[in-house]
Chains A and B, each alone.
Chain A
Amino acid sequence: MADRKALAHLLRRATFGPTAEEVDAAERAGAAATVDALLKPSGADAGAARTPAPRLPEVDERADRAAQIRTVGSWWLDRMVQAEHQLPEKLTFFWHGHWATSADKVRYGTLMLGHQQTLARTALGDFGTMVRAMLRDPALIIWLDGQKNTVKAPNENLARELMELFTLGVGHYTEQDVREGARALTGWVVDQRTGATSLNPKRHDSRPKTILGSTGDFDADSFAALLLGRPECPEFIARRLWLRYCGDNEIPGAALTEAARQTTTGAMLKVLLLADGHAELVKQPVEWLAGALRQLGLRPGDMPEQQRRQLQSGLNQLGQVPLRPPSVGGWPAGAAWLTTSAAQARLKMAQLLAGKAPQPVLDRLGAAPQGTRIDALARLLVVDAFTDRTRAALTPAAGDPRKLLALGLASPEYAIQ
């Protein structure tokens, strides 16, 4: 029998937050089979089927853009909660933080949805496919002014962030590389009406460029190929994955080497999930909320509009709204989520969630004898153990399952993965 604690740890990190029953099933299946099933889920995803992507009008219709963006954000949260294939779903969100494109500037719900779908489609596969898709993605292009980058007037925004934040990391290229790289990315335009992107040869700089010591007639794809071929690239991605899935400590050398050897993101993530040296990881607000909704059996899609808005507004107070990363550097990690204002927001959200908890969940909690009710709470929330400190805070509430649940969700133990 596999170690339940280790499996709970794995599932907390690989998914948005496992239910007790999912940990039970993993315990029966064993670690190896669990990881395989996470990476290559068998069967159709009924949860995803229940939550089809919203149909939005074309970009040029004068629809309420803010409402469209809200629709997409609200749908995505519902998908995160309901999807059965949790690992790909969470990895899609990881990539959103990586490419960190915000609706604040893109402003079209359709394009943000398309961006999300592209991330989902390429999340597990070869990173090169994702990079090439992103260089054609209208949302990313608008976010980093790619459509303004022309042979006559190069704009460096996209080229710089492509190297600094998306593929290599700072220090692995020169200023000259940024300028030459920008020339390679010239000519991409976004159709105002359809949102489709294409390369306009007249706007593209087809003269030779020298990037990272190589000279050639680089365009977007060959520039991408050059970056993907650098040894720093897989190491950079492995480090980014480690930060979100394993801990904010330095990645151990062995794990880095092994991860960088893999040819797909899925294989890389598998190496890292199974690697030694994981550290404490603070749940990001989206992980915290989606996990709580899953464990309480709450589906945002089944809630009235007004309650769905409460969830979005809760995420806003917690500081992480999908589709609106705070900067092109993405969201912070670790202790940055543990401020006083975040504690207050978590407390408020926890009360809201406990207030919506379905009766069967409360009944199950209430059915445990008073003396073991806190253990039942730990099982429900897949917390390894509550400290004596938190037990002392929970004990007076043990007679009131709803209150107990709210405090459990707000507890320091539940803030950590």
Chain B
Amino acid sequence: MDALTRRRFLITSGVVGAAGLAAGGAWTLRDVFDTATWDDRPGDAKTLVLVTLYGGNDGLASVVPFAEKGYRDARGDLAYSGEEVLGLDDRSGLNPAFAGLKKLYDTKQLAVIRGVGYPKPDHSHFRSMDIWQTAQPDRPGNTGWLGRWLDTFGGDPRHAVSFEPVLPPVLAGATSAGAAVPVTGLALPNGVQTATLRKLGAVAAGEPPLQARAARAFADLVSVDTLIDSVDAAEDADEPEPAGTGTGGRSDLRAQLDLVARCVEANVATRVFSVSLGGFDLHASAGRSTQEQILQRLDDALTAFATRMARTEAGRRVVVAVYSEFGRRVAANGSEGTDHGTASNMFLLGSPVRGGLFGEQPSLSDLDNGDLRFVVDFRSVYATLLKDVLDADPQQILGYSTTLPGLL
């Protein structure tokens, strides 16, 4: 896997503040495992795993409202019939690629929250993702909602971990930032001595900040050199050729979740993990099969993780939340794809989740300029996660305190 080439736009979007940048790349898996000895974690403390789908996942292809008026006309060749989907109730069903998620739904471990969005939806990938990650729909600032949680939680970066080379804005707080832990090995090249790198990594008085940061990377390199063998291979040999326009996100969701599983099983102090999957921007030539391929990858990764988590006590306290920056336009665009849309579904899964259908399917006939009107404010899902998973005060972190009853 190439650890560097993905997901870089977050930095250019300007959301990540100085704290976020300073933290990226400085932490190692061993640093995270070291926190297993901390005793700051109450016995019943839960863990949140946030899964970000980059590119705008098609909500209407994920949870198919096959019986809704206008659905078949709007979606044409992309439409599914009631017989094809994995029924949730008599009006909607999961995409056929979501066989694993359907099993979780049947055992009440998957909550499907429909119609999640925010007022005045933005159709830019970058801006809408900023809104979702900052939880500030009016004017996205430069802190992420989980970064602000970290600020209130004491601020050790290892309480909020991302297995990505660059820290996602969602984990950047005002005074603290989560830890970005690279997942690839960082072996020193042959013939380079640790002593030399230590010297290059030293602080030079009066040095400009970026140059100082370049130096610090060498100090970090020395500290991670010994870790190579401890990381699972994160290779994703079967990476398909992308059909969507690149908008960020990683391709190795399963590898990231494997690392999360190892950390959880080791009882680390981390309360929040952030992982991602990219490739959902299917404007054209998606057809049903392309859409199903990527949903299948998501299903595989999520179900494998949920199954593994169900096996241990620590794992049974893990809640996974899945979201994307927007859904797609209700009407297909005629290129066997869909354009950027608005409200969509969120998934919550794990043992603490009370499964079922939440929210409601937005009307497919009463549209806002061709787009779905949202029913559930995304901040109410965040508020629920903050209160019931992280034992935090949503009002303090979101300035918003309405929760969704019955989810957890």
Contacts and interface: CB of A to CB of B under 8 A. Distances in A.
A342 B4 contact: yes
Given A104-B241, A145-B283, A280 B209 contact: yes
A316 B182 CA distance: 16
A20 B11 CA distance: 33
Nearest to B329: A156
B337 A332 contact: no
Interface in B253-308: 283-285
Contact of A336 (B8, B215, B332, B335): B8
Contact of B210 (A104, A335, A344, A387): A335
Interface string A310-343: 0000001111110011111111111110111111
Contacts of B244: 105
A347 interface: yes
Nearest to B24: A339
B217 A338 contact: yes
Interface residues of A, number: 71
Interface stretch (A48-56, A368-376, A407-415): A407-415
Given A155-B283, A328-B245, A280 B208 contact: yes
A5 interface: no
Interface stretch (B141-149, B196-204, B357-365, B389-397): B196-204
Contacts of B285: 148
A389 interface: yes
Contacts of A327: 8-9, 245-248
A388 interface: yes
A125 B229 CA distance: 53
Contact of A160 (B21, B123, B182): B123
A339 B216 CA distance: 9
Contacts of B205: 388
Given A387-B204, A410-B200, A336 B166 contact: yes
A280 B129 CA distance: 28
B246 A336 contact: no
Nearest to A282: B210
B5 to A, nearest CB: 5
B189 A351 contact: yes
A153 B340 contact: no
Contact of A155 (B5, B12, B213, B333): B333
A344 B220 CA distance: 10
B16 to A, nearest CB: 9
A68 interface: no
20 contacts: A104-B246, A150-B334, A155-B284, A170-B124, A179-B369, A280-B209, A319-B5, A326-B246, A327-B247, A329-B9, A331-B8, A331-B12, A332-B166, A333-B12, A339-B4, A341-B3, A341-B4, A387-B204, A389-B203, A412-B207
Q: What 5 pairs across the A-B complex have the smallest Cβ distances?
A: A153-B334, A319-B4, A148-B335, A393-B199, A343-B217
